[in-house]
Amino acid sequence: MKIETIAIHAGNTTDSNTKAVVQPITLSTTFERAEDGSYPAGYIYTRAANPNRLSLENVLAKLDGGVEACAFSSGNAAGSAVFQSLEPGSHVIAPEDMYHGLKALMNEVYSRTLDITYIDMSDLAAVEKSIKPHTTRLIWIETPSNPLLKISDIKAICGLAHQHEISVCCDNTFATPVFQKPLDLGADLVMYSSTKYFGGHSDVLGGALVTKTTNTQWEKIKSIQTLSGAVPSPFDCYMTVRGLKTLPYRMRGHEANALKIAHFLEQHPAIEKVFYPGLESHTSHNIAKSQMSGFSGMLSFTIKGGEEAAGKVANSLKWITQATSLGGVESLIEHRASVEGPLTKTPFNLLRLSVGLENIEDLIADLRSALE
């Protein structure tokens, strides 16, 4: 099946009782046992499994070409399960410009049990140099990165990692499986904040992991999912499945708008630099082209005049809303450095833009007015 058909059908079943073509929401927390004590429908307790969650996990696995998926209550919960699956003392290599929320989780919680090295993941030599032969157990990739849109060479990093029997997890939130398939490029796990493009409407929180194989680490992750209880509600699963049905078409719209805005900004005299892998001026454009079929709807740009000028632009927009998060049908903009705090590596004159599905002429007019 092609990805559009998978997105619509892999997460849905016709209800056997009513023949409703959209799967109902199963809110029950518990399920009836048979006389012999077994569970004939396969469900025991909703923390362990739920029909809506299994539907979501099925479509997620198929979209990425994986064998199984685990859905979580947030992207951070999904990432946390990966870190919890590692033995204490394990060494982790991660991007220095990775998503701030997940980096804060690693620093404040997992640095007590894990040895973490942050590097420029777009520098393959730096990756190789950071490997500790006896203790490195995980390389965490985020490509494109948040918010600097750096590109990591997934295939090259995975080849290097597997020479040393190191697992690789790729945060594919920005690209989605519509534009990038990390498992096909050698990654062992793929991670998502499903709050973003999967849900697509800024109204549901969630995270996900997809695996290439059902190995020992994956079994640990599944156990952590059940025992920790950081699982999405049936309603959240239903909403995410609903959002996924239009994902391929929405992503193409996001990318088309983002590319036009990136070109507009690149030519504007008030702009210092545009970070978008779809631009030929991007330092890793060729690597991006080799592993991505499209460049998604996320971009960042720096403004001449510093932080004050960036703030004025963000506050002067009409249709582009100043708010945290990304991946919704509405365009959102944010001054990331002020969110990330004093230790941020994000330039203070940088704005991150999640390009939505509004009419492109309206979006460019909004940006032009704010910049001028």
Q: Which residues are catalytically annotated?
A: 47, 99, 171, 196
List, for residues 303-328, the tens digit of each pLDDT value. 999 999 999 999 999 999 999 999 99
What rounded mean pLDDT belongs to the chain? Answer: 97
The closest alpha carbon to 100, from 348, 345, 352, belongs to: 345
The closest alpha carbon to 244, from 195, 189, 309, belongs to: 195
Alpha helices for the chain (secondary structure H):
3-9, 51-64, 75-84, 100-108, 124-130, 154-163, 176-179, 216-228, 234-244, 247-267, 285-291, 306-316, 336-340, 360-371
Q: Say which residue the tokens 């699963």 belong to.
A: 237
Q: Are 330 and 297 in contact (CB under 8 A)?
A: no
What is the side-by-side strand order in the sheet with 136-142? 68-72, 207-211, 189-192, 167-171, 136-142, 91-95, 115-119
Distances (CA, A) of 267 to 101, 300, 314, 338: 32, 15, 19, 26
Q: Say which residue the tokens 């399920």 belong to.
A: 31
Averaged over 276-305, what is the pLDDT? 98
Domains of the chain: 3-244 (3.40.640.10), 247-371 (3.90.1150.10)
Q: Is the pLDDT of residue 159 over 90?
A: yes
Confidence of residue 84 (pLDDT cuts 50, 70, 90): very high
Q: What share of the chain is helix, strand, coil (3-state, %, to 5)?
A: 40, 15, 45
Q: Is the pLDDT of residue 341 over 90?
A: no
Q: Are 130 and 93 in contact (CB under 8 A)?
A: yes
Share of residues in the chain with pLDDT > 70 (%) = 100
Q: Are 61 and 68 in contact (CB under 8 A)?
A: yes
The closest alpha carbon to 53, from 233, 225, 244, 245, belongs to: 233
Sorted by sequence, the CB contacts under 8 Å of residue 151 that are 6+ apart come out as 122, 143, 144, 145, 277, 282, 284, 287, 288
What pLDDT does residue 15 have?
87
Q: Is the pLDDT of residue 54 over 90?
A: yes
Sorted by sequence, the CB contacts under 8 Å of residue 365 that are 6+ apart come out as none
What pLDDT does residue 345 have?
83
Q: Is the pLDDT of residue 38 over 90?
A: yes
List, for residues 222-259, the tens digit of each pLDDT value. 999 999 999 999 999 999 999 999 999 999 999 999 99
Q: Are strands 68-72 and 207-211 parallel, antiparallel or unpaired?
A: antiparallel
